[in-house]
Every structure is written in C-alpha cells, then in structure tokens.
C-alpha cells in the first residue's frame, strides 16, 4: 500500500518536475484572466449553462415533450382540442400541472424547453466555432508563413471575395437549397465565419515568423511543416480560442435569426425555435413568460462567449494592456 502511494507520488513528482514551466505559465495566465471581472462572469455563466445542458433530464421539471392537460374540467379529447385556446398559460400556483415558467401554446412547460434548448445552443456554438477554426487557423497559418507568395495571394484574394458576399442572405440561400437541418445551418455559418480566424491568424503568423526562435528552428533544419505546427501553432492557439469564442457567439445569434425567419429545424427544441413559435402563434405581445426567457438566454450565452473572448484577448495580447 505504502509502496503504491510512493510510486504514485513519485509519478506526480516527476510529472510536476517536467511540466513545471507549463504549469507556471498556465497559472500566470489564469491569474491574469481572473483579473478581468467580465471574463470571470462570462465563464461562470458558460459553466452554468453547460451544467444545465448536461444535467437537463435531472433538473427539468417535466420530461421534454410533456404537455399540461386541460385543467378544471373533465373533457373528452375533442373538447380538449376545442378549448386548447387557453394555452399559452402563465405560471399558475396551486395548479396540479404547475409549470414554473408557464406553458407555451401547446401546453409544453417553458422552463423545460428552456433547459433542453441549452443543448442545441451549445452544440451550434461549439460546432460552428470549431469548424470555422479548423478551416481558418490552418489557412491563416499557411497564408502567413508563405507570406508574399502565390499561396498567400490566392488565400487572401479568396478571403477578400468572400467578405463581399452578404452573410445572412448567403446562409439563407444555402440552407434553403440544402435542406433545413441543424448540421446544414452549422456548415452554412462556418462557410462564412472562418474568414476572421484566417485573417487574424495570418497577421499573428507574419509577426511570429520574424522572431528569432523560428529562425533558430529553420537553421537547425526543421521542415516547414514542423515549424508551422510545432513552433508557430502553439503560439497562435490562444488567439485562435479568442476567435473560436466569438464565432460561437455569432453562430448562436445567427441560428436565432434563421429560426425567426422560418429557417430552422422545428423538430428540435432550441431557443430560437421557441421564439419563432411565439411569433407564429401570435403571442408576441401577450405572453411575456414565454417571450422573455429564450431571448434572455440567447443574450446571456452570446454575451458570456464575448466576455470570455475579449478577456482572453487581453491575456494573449500583452501590448493591448496599459
């Protein structure tokens, strides 16, 4: 037993020894990040939303497709349909089918839908962010590393032309043609949003390329691939995360806009789709318990991504600090 703990201790000891520098710089960056109250607030909101999404079945007051039955009278199914105009219903205390935030027009609990909607929002945010980074970061690295060559020129002109395309109209047309699924929406968003990542990473790469450690690597005979991915990439990764966070926020907002325009997967419960149903059923101005929460959640999650992103930017860019 004691031997076992000994070996484990020595393992941790060796690990600590070897990665002391990494730990120190991580802690320094973390301390710098926590100096930004805004960033910490954003991170806390994000963590809470992630927890809500993971634990959705345990904290939601009802199962996802639960519907409040007509209350107050013992109705046959036809009567129920005829009288279902009493939905949406605000929260009513003392109701046996109490829904904490009221119900929507079908009798689904708003809070339940809100909790499950966090899953779609996070999925869209992270998937679109990661996808744009996966396209934008390598292209930015290559473009910057081979600056002033035909490769750089080709990538830059492509970016120029794509910046000229109207973003939302492009997404609308792409989604309308390829079919309205969440995957297609994510792809359509990423088609346009990798541009920022590529531009910023290119700029950073251009300046890193002139630093002496890259020259040292070149002199010692490292291949271009090795220099790009082992020496430059780790240095641009923090900046890449800044833009990933911004892409995520932008993707969530775009999905909400598309849902509002009627281009969203209506079989899925997402915050944008909830708002779209408010509009379609004509309850925008008489059901605040249904209208306000999804909009507030979209604002909260996008704002927290932006908060984290801009605080990270300050950490990664020491020159921006006074």
Partner 1 sequence: MTRISATYFAKRLAVSLVVIWAILTVLFLLLKSMPGSIATQFLNPNLKPEDIRALKAQYGLNQPLHIQYLKWVKNYATLNFGYSMQSTEPVSALIARRLPRTVFLFGTAYLINLTIGTLAGIEFGWHRGSSRDKTGFAAGLTLYSIPPFWLAWLLLYVFAFGGFGLSVLPVGHMTPSFQSVFTSWEFFSSIFTHLLIPATTLALVGWVGNMLVMRTSMQEVLGEEYINTARAKGLSPTTVKYKHAARNALIPLATQAIVSIAFIVDGAVVIETVFSWPGMGRLLVNATLNRNFPVALAAFFMLGVLIVIARLLTDVAYTYLDPRIKFGENQ
**Smaller CB separation from partner 1, 173 or 216:** 173
Closest approach, Cβ 29 to partner 1, in A, equals: 20
Q: Which of 155, 256, 287, 315 binds partner 1 (CB under 8 A)?
A: 256
Residue 244 sits in the site that holds partner 1 (CB under 8 A): no
Q: Which of 68, 272, 290, 315 binds partner 1 (CB under 8 A)?
A: 272
From the list 45-53, 80-88, 216-224, 250-258, the region that binds partner 1 by CB under 8 A is 250-258
Q: Which stretch binds partner 1 (CB under 8 A): 24-32, 94-102, 133-141, 248-256?
A: 248-256
The answer to whether residue 26 forms part of the interface with partner 1 (CB under 8 A) is no
Nearer to partner 1, 3 or 319 (CB): 319
Contact segment (CB under 8 A) with partner 1 among 58-66, 221-229, 231-239, 261-269 equals 261-269
Which residue lies nearer to partner 1 by CB, 55 or 165? Answer: 165
Minimum distance of partner 1 from residue 55's CB (angstroms):
24
Over the window 300 to 319, marking each residue x when it contacts partner 1 by CB under 8 A and - when it does not, the resulting string is x-xx-xxx--x---------
How far apart, in whole angstroms, are the C-alpha atoms of residue 142 and residue 300? 35
Which region among 12-20, 109-117, 223-231, 294-302 touches partner 1 (by CB under 8 A)?
294-302
Is 127 one of the binding residues for partner 1 (CB under 8 A)?
A: no
- Using rule CB under 8 A, residue 150 touches partner 1: no
Nearer of residues 92 and 283 to partner 1, judged by Cβ: 283
**From candidates 38, 40, 151, 222, binder to partner 1 by CB under 8 A:** 38
Contact between 164 and partner 1 per CB under 8 A: yes
> How far is the C-alpha of 131 from the C-alpha of 89, rounded, in Å?
40
Q: How far is CA 134 from CA 63, 128, 213, 237, 275, in A?
A: 36, 10, 25, 12, 31
Interface with partner 1, residue 187, by CB under 8 A: no
Q: What are phi and psi of 270, to 5 degrees?
A: -130, 165
Interface residues toward partner 1, by CB under 8 A = 38, 156, 159-161, 163-170, 172-174, 176-177, 199, 249, 253, 256-257, 260-263, 272, 275, 284-285, 291, 295, 298-300, 302-303, 305-307, 310, 320, 322
């Amino acid at each position: 037993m004691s031997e076992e703990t000994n070996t484990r201790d020595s393992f941790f000891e060796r690990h600590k020894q070897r990665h002391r520098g990494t730990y120190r710089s991580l802690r320094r960056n973390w301390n710098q990040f926590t100096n930004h109250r805004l960033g910490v607030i954003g991170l806390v909101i994000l963590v809470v939303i992630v927890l809500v999404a993971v634990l959705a079945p345990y904290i939601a007051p009802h199962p996802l497709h639960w519907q409040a039955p007509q209350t107050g009278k013992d109705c046959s199914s036809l009567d129920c349909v005829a009288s279902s105009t009493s939905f949406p219903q605000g929260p009513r205390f003392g109701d046996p089918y109490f829904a904490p935030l009221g119900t929507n027009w079908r009798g689904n609990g708003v809070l339940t839908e809100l909790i499950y909607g966090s899953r779609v929002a996070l999925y869209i945010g992270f998937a679109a962010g990661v996808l744009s980074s996966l396209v934008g970061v390598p292209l930015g690295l290559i473009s910057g590393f081979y600056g002033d060559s035909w490769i750089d020129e080709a990538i830059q002109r492509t970016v120029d032309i794509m910046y000229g395309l109207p973003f939302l109209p492009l997404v609308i047309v792409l989604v309308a043609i390829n079919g309205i699924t969440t995957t297609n929406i994510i792809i359509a968003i990423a088609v346009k949003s990798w541009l920022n990542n590529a531009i910023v990473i290119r700029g950073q790469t251009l300046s890193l390329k002139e630093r002496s450690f890259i020259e040292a690597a070149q002199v010692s005979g490292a291949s271009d691939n090795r220099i790009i991915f082992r020496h430059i990439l780790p240095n641009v990764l923090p900046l890449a995360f800044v833009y990933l966070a911004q892409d995520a926020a932008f993707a969530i907002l775009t999905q909400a806009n598309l849902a509002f325009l009627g281009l969203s997967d209506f079989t899925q419960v997402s915050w944008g789709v909830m708002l779209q149903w408010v509009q379609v059923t004509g309850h925008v101005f008489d059901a605040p318990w249904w209208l306000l929460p999804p909009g507030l959640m979209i604002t909260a999650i996008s704002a927290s991504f932006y908060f984290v992103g801009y605080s990270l930017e300050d950490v990664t860019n020491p020159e921006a600090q006074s």
